[in-house]
Amino acid sequence: MRILIWHVHGAWTTSFVHGDHTYLVPVLPDRGPDGRGRARTYPWPPSAVEVTPEEAREADVDVVVLQRREELEHLAEEWLGGRRPGRDIPAVYVEHNAPQGRIAEMRHPAMDRGDLTIVHVTHFNRLFWDTGTTPTTVIEHGVPDPGYRYDGSLERAAVVVNEPIRRGRVTGTDLLPLLGRDLPLDLFGIGTEELGGLDLAQTELHDAIARRRAYVHPYRWTSLGLALIEAMLLGLPVVCLATTEAAEVVPPCAGAVSNDLHVLQAGLRALRDDPERARRAGREARRVALERFSHARFLGQWDELLARVAA
């Protein structure tokens, strides 16, 4: 198939474009949010092809993958020369995020659309979004296995958070001083420089966090972060809040899972003081991640859905 998809979430899109299709990725000269083109910090295959607005208007497109309100409301139609996703070209809407706001008001922008399918990346998100009569399904993340790389020799913990200052309490940025009291935390991600963090390319990031003793996932309210899954695949033990989907994904044997900050602090101390315990917990984390977040399973489920939608 020929699939039009905007480069919105780098890690997720990297998993998606490794399928057996041609992926048309919008590109603009400034490579801004509406035209980032191919990723520069992730390895993408040649089948992910950049298209300009002029090329997109003339392109044969089998399915449009929407991910943002503006794509649904006007952007995709503009790029497709007036062809409307869902009505003129088959379309799905991938909802990456947990809804924000009062539960009674969490209505999805694609609700009550019989011509679309909404794909949630977690069951938690599907539960909380009000999508009305729009058909919905869940395709959980699938992550290419980076391989077991755990070293753990640094008595420090890794945290990956994008834009930790702007997102604040949502990402648990305020919890970092407390959680880092007994095992110092190293922060990675976009917009972390002001807090002394580093924004690294994916391969560099994997090598860096694998040297840390543990991985900390302090998010209060968010969709399931791919960085968490990647850390588990690398073999890191995980200390995380028991919120949103993370409570089901990370078993206690993989580190420490709780909303009691004292329990999380104790878990970090235990991993600091017992490297072998940390290694065992990390192996459990990797085992769970391999079973649940298989890249082959992810691509297979997407192939089934795309074929059904395109038909």
> Could you read off the pLDDT of 122-134 as tens digits, one per residue?
999 999 999 999 9
Kindly list the domain boundaries of the chain, sorted by start residue: 2-142+295-310, 154-292
Which range among 88-97, 102-111, 176-185, 262-271 shows the weakest confidence by mean pLDDT? 102-111
Model pLDDT, residue 43: 87
pLDDT for residue 42 is more than 90: no
pLDDT band at 203, cuts 50/70/90? confident
Task: Please give the average per-residue pLDDT across 187-206, as a whole number.
Answer: 93
* Cα–Cα dist 87/135, whole Å: 15
Task: Please give the average per-residue pLDDT across 16-36, as a whole number.
Answer: 97
Write the class of the CATH domain 2-142+295-310.
Answer: alpha beta
Task: Please give the average per-residue pLDDT across 153-182, as a whole number.
Answer: 95
Cβ atoms 23, 49 nearer than 8 A: yes
Task: Please give the average per-residue pLDDT across 133-158, as a whole number.
Answer: 97
Model pLDDT, residue 104: 82
Model pLDDT, residue 101: 85
* Cα–Cα dist 214/210, whole Å: 8
E strands, the chain, are 2-5, 22-26, 48-51, 63-66, 91-95, 117-120, 136-138, 154-160, 185-188, 212-217, 238-240, 255-257
Model pLDDT, residue 105: 84
Which range among 69-83, 196-210, 274-288 shows the weakest confidence by mean pLDDT? 196-210
Task: Please give the average per-residue pLDDT across 45-49, as a whole number.
Answer: 97
Q: Considering the chain, what is the average pLDDT of its residues?
A: 96
Task: Please give the average per-residue pLDDT across 184-213, as a whole number.
Answer: 94
Model pLDDT, residue 106: 86
Task: Please give the average per-residue pLDDT across 202-216, as a whole number.
Answer: 95
- Between strands 154-160 and 185-188, the pairing is parallel
pTM attached to this predicted model: 0.93
pLDDT for residue 80 is more than 90: yes
Percent of the chain with pLDDT over 90: 94
Q: Decide whether 2-142+295-310 matches 154-292 in CATH topology.
A: yes
* Cα–Cα dist 208/198, whole Å: 10
pLDDT for residue 29 is more than 90: yes
What would the pLDDT profile of 268-292 be if each residue is shown by its tens digit? 999 999 999 999 999 999 999 999 9
pLDDT for residue 100 is more than 90: no
Model pLDDT, residue 66: 98
Residue 53 exposed, middle or buried by CB count within 10 Å (0-12, 13-18, 19+) = middle
Model pLDDT, residue 69: 96
Model pLDDT, residue 268: 98
Both tokens of 81, joined, read: 């020369």
Model pLDDT, residue 41: 82
The number of CA neighbours under 13 Å toward the Cβ of 299 is 14
Task: Please give the average per-residue pLDDT across 29-57, as a whole number.
Answer: 95
Which range among 55-64, 104-113, 290-299 shows the weakest confidence by mean pLDDT? 104-113
Q: What is the CATH number of domain 154-292?
A: 3.40.50.2000
Determine if residue 235 is left, alpha or beta; phi over 0 gives left, psi from -120 to 50 gives alpha, anything else beta.
Answer: left
